[in-house]
A and B are shown apart, each in its own frame.
Chain A
Amino acid sequence: MDINLKLLVGLKKHSPTGEPEFTMQVPQGTTVEQVLGGLGIAQERAKVVLVNGRQAQSGQPLQSGDLVVVFPPMEGG
């Protein structure tokens, strides 16, 4: 199945296309952790992971067409 990713705020270097936004094919039942691990993003760098705008749950399996947004620790405001 296809899922969409956005690797933001300095995580772009983990993108296989070199662009922050890309689509990748993963097997049914793939979890968020498996996707991030496959891209080489350490758990502490993936501070916020959103699936379709909602915070991802631990071990959450992804669905076809999901949008996964990842950002590292940051302050703001």
Chain B
Amino acid sequence: MAQMYGWLGKVLLVDLTRGELRQEPLDPRIARNYIGGRGLGIHYLRTLGSPTVEPLEPDNPLIMSTGPLTGTKAPTGARYMVTTKSPLTGAITCANSGGHFPAMMKRAGFDAIIFTGAAPEPVYLWINNGEAELRPAGHLWGQDTHQTHQSLAGETHPQARTACIGPAGENRVLFAAIMNDKDRAAGRSGVGAVMGAKKLKAVAVFGEQAVPLHDPEGMNREVARLLKVFKDSYKDGPPPLRVYGTAITATATNNYGVLPTRNCRQGTFEGADNIGGQALTERFLKKPKACFSCPIACGRDTAVEEGPYQGAGEGPEYETLYALGSACGVDDLAAITKANYICNEMGMDTITMGATIACAMELYEAGYLPESDVGRPLRFGDAGAVVELTSLTAARRGFGELLAQGSLRLATRYGHPELAMVAKGQEFAGYDPRGVQGMGLAYATSPIGASHMRGDPAYIELLGVPKLLDPLKWEGKAQLIKDWQDVFCVIDASGLCVFFSVRNLVEAREDIAPSGITKLLNLATGADYTLEEVIRVGERIFNAERIFLNQAGFSREQDTLPPRILSEPMPDGPARGMVCQLEPMLTEYYTVRGWSQQGLPQPEILGQLGLI
């Protein structure tokens, strides 16, 4: 077989039902047409899975895939993607994570791992320099993610990297995460519940294989150039993300009046300064933490050393601060950080956890949710309740049993589904779409349900990266969101992190061009991609995901937002009086995408993308 560059050239197929492992070569044609990562994920999901499968049944495949830049010197080439059908939403999900596990997975010899079936008893997968085996994991079942990490380092290799589930995944909490390197999360949509249903506790990897590159010297030169440009752009001081972490985003969102507060009843939070980056840095930061090959170091190594919420770990990120903080009306940073630690150790998505508690608080205050069901009062601002309910959710104990199903099922049970701040059943990220119009369209059309990471317009509508547009205007946003979604597919397929890419590898033209990524991909793979071809791959990935969604029963009707966002004017702050103008944006968006007004990709665009 011809040498592949940017790849180890192997895919591992793990049939958990039979306990059989098989290797296949990575198909060079598929690698070229889908780049990798998120692209490989949707390709394999469509090939091996079914859009109509029950997500927690054995037939639902779970795919872990790296990109051609994962494990290389390309700045932030640290990411992998977990793709499956989501138990939270019934839609596709692709959850992304960095840290060191993805690079080590590739160095251990596999570009992608595909799990099918379900093991009769708990197992873990151990890969040591190309040799893979399934091992019993009964002794690990019940351990939290930190304990699991430690146990596996002891019984595999001291330098092994692990991705695992905690008790939340074992208990099939519908928003359980897969945690790698202890505190990094493939967080959203319940990928950890799928892993738990397969009785797959963990994947441990160790390897020393280098990723072969088409032009290693050219890559070295380009990486040196990029790092110099990066360094020179921070002559006035280190990157805000290193100093403050993503928590700094609260500064922007609260000043714009789009920080979701009290289940989106408000867009500004009086306690925002108490939960922002400045406060986190001053009170709890031990040191910034970087993923593999990352010059930014936005990760937060933190500790709460006094008071009732002591603990140590990573976080919180901005999205966590919004969900467990402002969405719940809580500005007690120690409590938020403690709830974040619990989510990390139990293996749960902090966004859905917090937003679901926020929804419960509104149901309670409105008199729809009786105190006897919760077992305690549940008013906005109750920091203790947030911490307690987070623990109960992981264990599915008491009221935690209902919270473990996410906000839409909870609100529906109490007769008010409109109070769930979700798109396609997945909870919002930390931006109220009434004051960030493009974000509303991005939430509504994201294949995984509401997400800020499937084409994040906050960069363009709030932060001015790579260009700045008015967040309150909806006109012209359809084309922007389409372009940005496709570029995010490229970033996610390549194995890069959004944070470095949006500033350093993407150009603002009439459209948005991933020219820097194209250059890195060519140096790594020798694929000789044109910029247009790379953009087309992004569009191909997005449309392939849409086909899966359509076949799973999603169309225009599901591309929507809660009534609060569409018809209740924002009551406060700079976005006061605004609602999200979703319908006109959506109509224009479908046209721009070449989809029918029902949201179905039409034969012409599918033909152009090679998807029929």
Chain A 22-51, CB-CB to B under 8 Å as 1, else 0, gives 000000000000000000000001011010
CB distance from B304 to the nearest CB of A (A): 23
Name which of B173-181, B393-401, B451-459 contacts chain A. B451-459
Interface: B364 (CB within 8 A): no
A60 at the interface (CB under 8 A from B): no
* Separation of A48 and B573 alpha carbons in the complex (Å): 18
**A72–B606 CA distance with the chains assembled, in angstroms:** 41
CB-based closest 6 A-B pairs: A53-B574, A76-B249, A74-B240, A47-B464, A75-B499, A69-B255
Is the CB–CB distance between A73 and B246 below 8 Å? no
* Given contact pairs A48-B464, A55-B470, A73-B465, A10 touches B252 in the complex (Cβ within 8 A): no
Q: Return B204 CB to nearest CB of chain A, in Å.
A: 30
CB-based contact B468/A75 at 8 Å: no
List the A residue with the shortest CB-CB distance to B501.
Answer: A75
Give the residue of B241, B503, B574 whose beta carbon is less than 8 angstroms from that of A54.
B574
Indicate if the CB atoms of B236 and A76 lie closer than 8 Å. no
Binding site for A on B (CB under 8 A): 233, 236-237, 239-241, 243-244, 246, 248-249, 251-252, 255-257, 277, 318-319, 429, 452-453, 456, 458-459, 462-465, 468, 470-472, 498-499, 502-503, 573-575
What's the nearest-Cβ distance from chain A to residue B214, in Å? Answer: 29
Pair B463/A9 contact, Cβ less than 8 Å: no
Residues of A within 8 A of B246 (CB): 76-77
A50 to B458, CA, bound (A): 15
Most buried by B among A6, A47, A48, A75: A75
User: How many residue-residue contacts, CB under 8 A, span A and B?
Assistant: 84
Say whether B318 contacts A76, CB under 8 Å: yes
A9/B574 in contact, CB under 8 A: no
A10, closest chain B residue (CB): B237
Task: Point out residues on A near B: beta carbons under 8 Å.
Answer: 6, 8-10, 45, 47-48, 50, 52-55, 69, 71-77
| Interchain CB contact under 8 A, B459 and A73 | no
Question: In the complex the two chains form, is B472's CB within 8 Å of A54's CB?
Answer: yes
Question: Can you pick out 16 interface pairs between chain A and chain B where the beta carbons lie within 8 Å of each other?
Answer: A8-B251, A8-B255, A10-B237, A47-B464, A48-B462, A54-B472, A72-B236, A73-B464, A74-B463, A75-B503, A76-B246, A76-B252, A76-B458, A77-B456, A77-B458, A77-B498
Give A42 Cβ to nearest chain B Cβ, in Å: 9
Q: Which residues of A have CB within 8 Å of B574?
A: 50, 52-54
B318's partner among A47, A54, A69, A77 (CB-CB below 8 A) is: A77
Residues in A with CB closer than 8 Å to B248 are 9, 74, 76
> Are A6 and B237 in contact, with the CB atoms below 8 A?
no
A53:B575 contact, CB within 8 angstroms: yes
A57 to B17, CA, bound (A): 62
Find chain B residues with CB under 8 A from A71 CB.
251-252
